[in-house]
A and B are shown apart, each in its own frame.
Chain A
Amino acid sequence: MKSFIAFIIKEYYHIIRDKRSLLILLGMPIVQIILFGYGITNEINDANIAILDNSKDNITKEISNKLLSTKYFKLKRYLDSEREIEKSFKSGEIKQVLVFEPHFAENLQKFGSASIHLITDGTDPNIGNTIMNYTNSIILNYQSEMNVNLAGIINVLPEVKMRYNPELKGVYLFVPGLITIILNLISAMMTSISIAREKEMGTMEVLLVSPMKPIFVIVAKLIPYSLISFSITIIILILGGTIFNVPITGSLGFLLLECILYLFLGLSMGILISTIAPTQQVAMFISMIGLMLPTILLSGFIIPIENMPYWLQILSNIIPAKWFIIIIKDIMLKGSGITFVWKETLIIVLMITFLLIVSAKKYKIRLQ
């Protein structure tokens, strides 16, 4: 026990002496959450649009006003002719043009239909799509309101509600996603680098020759790093809750328990990496390329898994982050308990077991 404590104190010195790494470790999540929360988002606010109103009647005015009264759109200018459309798009000042056909209100009354031409900038398909959907739904909404006023027509008015994230805020997805990625990366990378450092410096041999059991060497290393990873989780949760109002609908205790479990997964990955990597650089390289890229790309954090080609969907199953993202989103946003996420939890437990068994095998081979 005495030796165990001496070891943890030593690790503590390593961590606080390396101020730069510590700053990166604690600062990275904060910067990322702010970047992701504010910057990278699918929401559209104040998208610039132009309107070419060839009719200039009451109804076209009403529709235009309705669009512009939302926070999503801002009128850049009214256009006077078709020719100006191309110019405005090219100059990059607008994302969408609404073209009302001539005699809009008249047509509507006479024939029961009139057309609006929506031209959207498709250079960024995601944004283009979103803008178009917003516009569409606002116009449809207007239309149904009109229908209510006209008696005698049967209306089916779908009332749409997005459950668990009514405003479709991107940050609701990013906070759980970030916790998933960062928790995994930091715990795996820190552990593997710190064990690899002992090997590189030759101190590992000294430790192995000492009466301290190898398993204690590893466990003593894991404790400080789990504490750091765990505090980072707390920081992200607090930031998410205070700045971006991401709720924790489910039980906080259960959420933290799952986080700890997932943290163990990262640590066991780190141990496995360190059994392969002879130097800190190799450990870093494996963690970054071998772990970070697949984790970010295949976990469903950025690219929805349903949109991937079939073989990538299969491959994504071996990415632990994929399962944890499901768990953490369910707990935070839907308020699920263990009865809903036991399958994913079990998968993570199995993964930890697998990683530890493989590491133990590798470790033994090294000792022979």
Chain B
Amino acid sequence: MSNFIIQTNKLTKKFGKFVAANELTFEVKKGEIFGFLGANGAGKTTAIRMLCGLSKPSSGSATVAGFDIYTQTESIKKNIGYMSQKFSLYNDLTVLENLAFFGGIYGLSKNVVKEKSQELITKLQIEEHKDKLVESLPLGWKQKLAFLTSVIHNPKIIFLDEPTGGVDPITRRKFWDLIYEASENGITVFITTHYMDESEYCNRVSIMVDGEIVELDTPHNLKEKYDCNKMDDVFVKIARKSKRVE
């Protein structure tokens, strides 16, 4: 197996005449934190959906965790985790019930789920809240919980689609601690975000404009190339080229 966990070659998705993602070619290295940036409507979600097997590409090819996205979506699904911008735990279930459910649909045995749940609850220090309904928890906790739930089955890759939307800076910072920890455990992190300060935490970032990847490099190199101090400015310089008007 190569050193790359995601490889795409001219991956394209068209909706009628509209080209949502145009000939995306990139690689994601094993264990890295890969920032997938772009303005609203640039095609990030379309790309993620293709990689997760939720949507069939119009043309091009790609492998995720070594599996083909056309023919081996079932194997891909077993090896990835996913957390979307919309909060994705069940509000009317307790913390433990949510963990049992998500562990269950990934086919984990009861004992493993128990063990994992305990580990996770200790980590988040929410022992006294484990039997409370998720809706009663503060948003920050929910999001951390959702993240840890999405990696409960030890996936090779975790796709995070704007996971920190609507959260205060301190909680975001703590959230990133969890991401680093997952990364240290060998999980590759594929993350989209609107917060450019977050993109500084990534090993490498790609920037999409109008369905195409226009830049792919480390944040450091990009800042040098565009002669900026912050990723924020790099992003603005690049995103201005967009012709898609919202």
List residues of A whose CB falls within 8 A of some B CB. Answer: 2-3, 5-7, 9-10, 13-14, 17-18, 201-203, 205-212, 367-368
Q: Does B105 lie within 8 Å of A207, measured CB to CB?
A: yes
Separation of A368 and B150 alpha carbons in the complex (Å): 24
Q: Does A202 lie within 8 Å of B87, measured CB to CB?
A: yes
Q: A9, A14, A17, A203: which contacts B88 (Cβ < 8 A)? A: A203
Query: B89 to chain A: which residues have CB within 8 Å?
Result: 203
Q: Does A5 lie within 8 Å of B104, measured CB to CB?
A: yes
Q: Does A3 lie within 8 Å of B92, measured CB to CB?
A: no
Query: B106 to chain A: which residues have CB within 8 Å?
Result: 3, 210-211
Separation of A9 and B84 alpha carbons in the complex (Å): 24
The answer to the question of B77 belonging to the interface, with a C-beta cut-off of 8 Å to chain A, is yes
The answer to the question of B78 belonging to the interface, with a C-beta cut-off of 8 Å to chain A, is yes
The answer to the question of B119 belonging to the interface, with a C-beta cut-off of 8 Å to chain A, is no
Separation of A179 and B104 alpha carbons in the complex (Å): 36
Interface of A is mostly: helix
Q: Does B90 lie within 8 Å of A211, measured CB to CB?
A: no
B19 to chain A, nearest CB (A): 15
Q: A7-B104, A209-B77 are in contact. Are A367 and B97 (CB under 8 A)?
A: no
Separation of A235 and B25 alpha carbons in the complex (Å): 61
Q: A9, A17, A18, A211: which contacts B101 (Cβ < 8 A)? A: A9
The answer to the question of B80 belonging to the interface, with a C-beta cut-off of 8 Å to chain A, is yes
List residues of B whose CB falls within 8 A of some A CB. Answer: 52-56, 74, 77-78, 80, 82-93, 97, 100-109, 133, 150, 159
Query: A202 to chain B: which residues have CB within 8 Å?
Result: 84-88
Separation of A226 and B124 alpha carbons in the complex (Å): 39
Q: B82, B108, B133: which contacts A206 (Cβ < 8 A)? A: B82
Q: Does A209 lie within 8 Å of B55, measured CB to CB?
A: no
A298 to chain B, nearest CB (A): 36
Q: Does B82 lie within 8 Å of A205, measured CB to CB?
A: yes
Query: B104 to chain A: which residues have CB within 8 Å?
Result: 2-3, 5-7, 9
Separation of A229 and B199 alpha carbons in the complex (Å): 51
* 9 further contact pairs, Cβ within 8 A, besides A10-B93, A203-B88, A206-B84: A2-B104, A10-B97, A13-B93, A14-B92, A206-B82, A209-B52, A209-B77, A209-B159, A211-B106
Closest to B135 in A: A17
Q: Does B107 lie within 8 Å of A13, measured CB to CB?
A: no
Q: A201-B86, A208-B54, A367-B54 are in contact. Are A6 and B80 (CB under 8 A)?
A: no
Q: A7-B104, A201-B87, A211-B105 are in contact. Are A368 and B52 (CB under 8 A)?
A: no
Query: A212 to chain B: which residues have CB within 8 Å?
Result: 105
Q: A3-B106, A6-B100, A206-B84 are in contact. Are A14 and B54 (CB under 8 A)?
A: no
Query: B97 to chain A: which residues have CB within 8 Å?
Result: 10, 13
Separation of A209 and B88 alpha carbons in the complex (Å): 12
Query: A13 to chain B: which residues have CB within 8 Å?
Result: 90, 92-93, 97
